[in-house]
Amino acid sequence: MKSLKNILIYGIVIGGFSGLIYFISVQGERLNTKTQVAASGKDNHWLSFTDSLSHNLHHPLAILLAQIITIIVVARIFGWICKWLGQPTVMGEIVAGVVLGPSLFGMYFPSVSAELFPVESLTNLQFLSQVGLILFMYIIGMELDLKMLRNKAKDVIIISHASIIIPFALGMLLAFYLFTSFAPAGIQFASFSLFLGISMSITAFPVLARILQERNMHKTKIGAIVITCAAANDIAGWCLLASVIAVVKAGSFASSLYNFLFAAVYVAVMIKLVKPFLKQIADAHLSRQSLKKSVMAIFFVVLILSSLVTEVIGIHALFGAFMTGVIMPNNMNFKNIIIEKLEDITLVLLLPLFFVFTGLRTQIGLLNDSHLWLITGLIILVASVGKFAGTTLSAKLVGQTWKDSLTIGTLMNTRGLMELVVLNIGYDLGVITPTMFTMMVIMALVTTFMTGPLLNLINLIFKKEETATEHIIIQPTVPETIS
């Protein structure tokens, strides 16, 4: 009886209000002021549907979603290929970006490329990739062990500083040769040369850390030295880059003094006020269970506010993200909880967007004569000599063995992702031309790809020497017989 009553109530409610909806719709049609001609065939209905489908496919959100799907799939495929070849996975993702750009995909499938990456959609891709970079630099800042830097500073300060100043000087020397032909119109030599110096002296801390981990070197003595050198290099490099950006935006060094003044105030506030505040929050929420959404919201607000401040004062939002990571509480368990929350979404979803955006800017077709390829070779040579030779010799001078010195030099010559970040900043500031940008991207790829094979070669050479030394047999002296 009760079931029948429920069915009756359901029928009255649904049927009654469905009838009301139909009545309102019919009456509403009479309010239309425009006469609509009814479609009189299946073809018109189908045409209307396909037009609607086409319109939906070209909606900015649909295009962005299609781009993200393509980027993730292609990045994973090339990441797997590079891992199979003994290269870091991130290198495959960088190559995927170049492949999806005009250098390959756009060249052979121009119509498909234009549909998937229309010019008007690139702004959305750029901003989303910048969000990914902000989160990534936040993670990099958190992963820096400042205590390790302090403990090993005496051992690595010479190597680290030499690995910056030597390639920086050679970069400026190269800028003197390239300025007339390759600097954009209106750019001062100081801006162009300082930027080229930064590009030559940067080390890809995250890629280097991944290489060490994949080779089980991260817990060795040489691994600790290299990580410390790279961390010190990273901090110094970002400070130099912030200075160069300030000079470029201000127009001159004198005008940039205000930027430096505000930057100094910003750093003081972050260290003296924000750092203790974050420590208090961390101390009260050390476990995963106590780290609620409201607590994460505080850290996100601090991160974004810091990035906003550094962007406004003229030293780029990425420096603010990096600085926020550096001042995070020293408790590694707490840091690891936050890193785990951010790492997958950043590394798998957002960071590949940056690689593809870089690839869309990289036009290898611009290097259309032998002279430009010779200049690219010269850039690679100067970058390698400055970073590899400079670091190797300084490591040897402070007492490292030749094997360890060559290993340190090879690893510090790794540029990868951080170089692409620097290059994109320079491109956005108008300090380098599209042609120069392409040359520098090729340099970043080559210097990073050579890391694995060079490490294998070094190990092979010194293994042979060690084996030869172990197997030296001293022959006994045989006295001459008197015939």
Quick: pLDDT tens for 21-79: 888 888 777 776 554 544 444 456 777 777 778 778 888 889 999 999 999 999 999 98
Query: In which band, very low, low, confident or very high, does the pLDDT at 308 lie, cut at 50, 70 and 90?
Result: very high
* pLDDT at residue 473 in the model: 47
* Residues in contact with 338: Cβ distance below 8 Å, sequence separation at least 6, in sequence order: 142, 291, 296, 299, 328
- Nearest Cα neighbor of 142 from 233, 205, 89 is 205
Q: In what helix (H) or strand (E) does residue 342 lie, and over which residues does it extend?
A: helix 332-344
Judge whether residue 202 has pLDDT over 60: yes
Neighbour tally for 230: CB within 10 Å: 28
Query: In which band, very low, low, confident or very high, does the pLDDT at 303 lie, cut at 50, 70 and 90?
Result: very high
* Lowest-confidence pick of 98-102, 372-376, 461-465: 461-465
Neighbour tally for 72: CB within 10 Å: 17
Angle at 47 between CA 60 and CA 39, to 5 degrees: 125
* pLDDT at residue 69 in the model: 93
* pLDDT at residue 49 in the model: 74
Crossing angle, helix 293-313 and helix 332-344, to 10 degrees? 80
Percentage of the chain modeled with pLDDT above 90:
22
What are the residue boundaries of the structural domains of the chain, listed by start? 133-353+366-461
Task: State the chain's mean pLDDT as an integer.
Answer: 83
Q: pLDDT tens, 423-456? A: 998 998 889 999 999 999 999 999 988 888 898 8
Judge whether residue 468 has pLDDT over 80: no
More confidently predicted of 469 and 129: 129
* Residues in contact with 330: Cβ distance below 8 Å, sequence separation at least 6, in sequence order: 146, 147
Judge whether residue 290 has pLDDT over 70: no
DSSP 389: I
* pLDDT at residue 146 in the model: 67
Judge whether residue 173 has pLDDT over 70: yes
* Alpha carbon distance 440, 456 (integer Å): 25
* Alpha carbon distance 42, 49 (integer Å): 11
* Residues in contact with 134: Cβ distance below 8 Å, sequence separation at least 6, in sequence order: 303, 304, 307, 317, 318, 321
* pLDDT at residue 241 in the model: 83
* pLDDT at residue 286 in the model: 66
CB 330 within 8 A of CB 259: no
* Lowest-confidence pick of 48-62, 217-231, 322-336: 217-231
Query: In which band, very low, low, confident or very high, does the pLDDT at 483 lie, cut at 50, 70 and 90?
Result: very low
Q: Compute the average pLDDT of residues 181-208.
A: 86
Q: Compute the average pLDDT of residues 150-154.
A: 62
Angle at 125 between CA 124 and CA 128, to 5 degrees: 85
* pLDDT at residue 479 in the model: 46
* Lowest-confidence pick of 103-112, 243-252, 261-270: 243-252
Coil, strand or helix: which one is 411?
helix
Top mean pLDDT of 25-39, 47-61, 95-109, 199-213 is at 95-109
Q: Which CATH number fits domain 133-353+366-461: 1.10.3720.10, 3.40.47.10, 1.20.1530.20, 2.60.260.20?
A: 1.20.1530.20
Angle at 386 between CA 442 and CA 230, to 5 degrees: 85
